[in-house]
Amino acid sequence: MNVLFLAIVLIACLTAGYKQLQWQASAPQAGADWANAAATAGASPMEQLSAGMIASAAGAVELAIGLVGIMALFLGLMKVAEEGGLLTVIAKLIRPLMVRLFPQVPPNHPAMGAMILNMSATALGLGNAATPFGIRAMQALDALNARPGTATNAMALFLAINTSGVTLLPAKVIAIRAASGSMDPAGILPTTLFATIVSTVAAIVAALLFQRYFPVGQPTSQELAMERPWVKEFQVDDIRQNQAQDHSAYPLWVSMLALGCMVLAIPATIVWGKAIAPWIVPGMMLGFLLFGWLRGVRIYESFIAGAKDGFDVALRIMPYLVAILVAVGMLRSSGALDVMVGFLAIFTAPLGLPAEALPMALLRPLSGSGSYGVMSSILTDPAIGPDSYVGYLVSTIMGSSETTFYVLAVYFGAVQVRRIRHTLIAALIADVVAVMASVAICSYLFGQA
């Protein structure tokens, strides 16, 4: 992100500087009044660049402030659902599928429970809750690892699924769309669900296919001597705690029925999307509160606790928004963005991926905060807007993909895995498929701009 941020600013400054020299060379020289000439010619390229920087910084703060209330609303609802046990319900639904995907992991091992909770939190868009579960799952999986420092097949498959996990409710993306003035902020629900289902299937197939070409190999004496204190921890305390937990699951037919309903929800929202859209946000509010109340949750206190988290999240991303929106604003004000858009559109536009959306597709696997900033800059661009084809496309890409390199660095770093085998290949295949699926479904529903 450091290199990307510097590169954007450098390109903008060099482009504006080059235009400034041309602008000065074209101005009247001897005997002319410089002030009158400048006034006649309008603002210079460097002045336009400065004005763009200030306007972008102010716009980023306004967007973040507008995001505070919306983020507090959605994370408050998520907190009610979480305390009502929605994570447990989802965990029981996917457990029969998990034991078949991960046959090398014992059904009652702590790794299985942690992976299920991680995927359940991801499905609900609870990124902050998913990460601790994911790290715990990796540590538990490492307790089953015969070659320390090398990713097992289960680790690779888990992270491939994690980077493409099915998202039922991309709450943060919906909140940013609402803050950007969208008339249909929840309109990305069917597109996101479609793209994540397709990318998750691709991730599973890729991980299972490539694992045979990347053998684990035999451990060396240095690897066997690695210090892994979390392994001892799982062999004692967590095993005892795991035995006391409820590992029950719904029957397989219930899980398959739920999966089938989720798949059928895609064509249903396509056919009745216009009629359903106005009901989605109010229905979420009423449905989550009723769910929490029926489960005995003190819904008001839980909502307030979640809203506080939403307030903190919105404030935390403000510096990131300022940085990336200023950089993108400089790129636009300098004219460099127009040049790049015109060049890339020749290749990407026929494929349904406009050049305006291409930076989002490239940045998403690298940086979550940076991609949120790029998405915000696109949605707030008066020439694009959140309800255009490009607006729906970048929102869908954001909601259906993950910061792949960040996830791999954090999760593998937690267990000191350096040889990741086929994990990155499977994860990147999932990212590419997510973009392709996003283009396909958005082109079908909203048409190309």
Query: Residue 249 has which token pair?
Result: 């699951």
CA distance 40 to 391: 37
What pLDDT sits at residue 276? 65
Interior CA angle at 177 toward 174 and 178, to 5°?
85
What pLDDT sits at residue 38? 46
- Helices 86-101 and 110-123: crossing angle in degrees, nearest 10, is 120
Distances (CA, A) of 103 to 96, 98, 197, 349, 422: 11, 8, 22, 43, 19
Contacts 24+ apart (CB under 8 A), 217-225: 217/147, 217/150, 218/147, 219/146, 219/147, 219/148, 219/150, 223/147, 223/148, 223/149, 223/150, 224/148
Report helix, strand or coil for 85: coil
Q: Bridge partners of 150?
A: 419
Query: Residue 364 has which token pair?
Result: 């998403």
What pLDDT sits at residue 198? 92
What pLDDT sits at residue 39? 45
What pLDDT sits at residue 129? 60
The maximal CA–CA distance of the chain, rounded, in angstroms, is 91
C-alpha closest to that of 166 among 245, 241, 261: 261
What pLDDT sits at residue 32? 47
8 Å CB contact between 317 and 369? yes
CA distance 336 to 252: 55
CA distance 301 to 244: 29
Q: Bridge partners of 79?
A: none
The identity of residue 61, as a single letter, is V
Residue 352, Ramachandran bin (φ over 0: left; ψ between -120 and 50: alpha; else beta) = left
CA distance 342 to 151: 43
What pLDDT sits at residue 240? 47
Q: Bridge partners of 443?
A: none
What pLDDT sits at residue 153? 94
What pLDDT sits at residue 4? 62
Residues 6+ apart with CB under 8 A from 92: 248, 249, 250
Q: What is the pTM of this model?
A: 0.69
What pLDDT sits at residue 273? 56
Q: What is the DSSP letter of 218?
A: P
CA distance 335 to 349: 20
Q: What are phi and psi of 378, to 5 degrees?
A: -70, -45
C-alpha closest to that of 43 among 62, 20, 64, 66: 20
CA distance 157 to 101: 9
CA distance 395 to 188: 7
Q: List the pLDDT tens digit at each of the 449 positions of the chain.
A: 467 678 888 988 998 898 888 888 876 554 445 445 444 456 788 888 888 888 878 877 776 776 677 667 777 877 787 788 876 777 677 778 888 888 888 877 778 877 887 787 777 666 656 776 788 788 889 888 888 889 999 999 999 998 887 777 787 788 888 888 888 888 888 888 889 989 999 999 999 999 999 998 888 888 787 887 777 766 554 444 444 455 566 777 787 887 777 667 667 666 665 566 567 668 878 888 998 899 888 989 988 988 887 677 667 667 766 776 787 778 778 888 778 767 777 777 788 888 888 878 877 886 666 677 788 888 988 888 899 999 999 999 998 888 787 778 778 887 888 888 999 899 999 999 999 999 999 988 887 64
8 Å CB contact between 249 and 96? yes
Please spell the DSSP secondary structure of 350-419, one letter per residue.
Answer: GGT--TTTHHHHHHTTT-HHHHHHHHHHHHT-TTT-TTSHHHHHHHHHHHH---HHHHHHHHHHHTT--B
Report helix, strand or coil for 150: strand
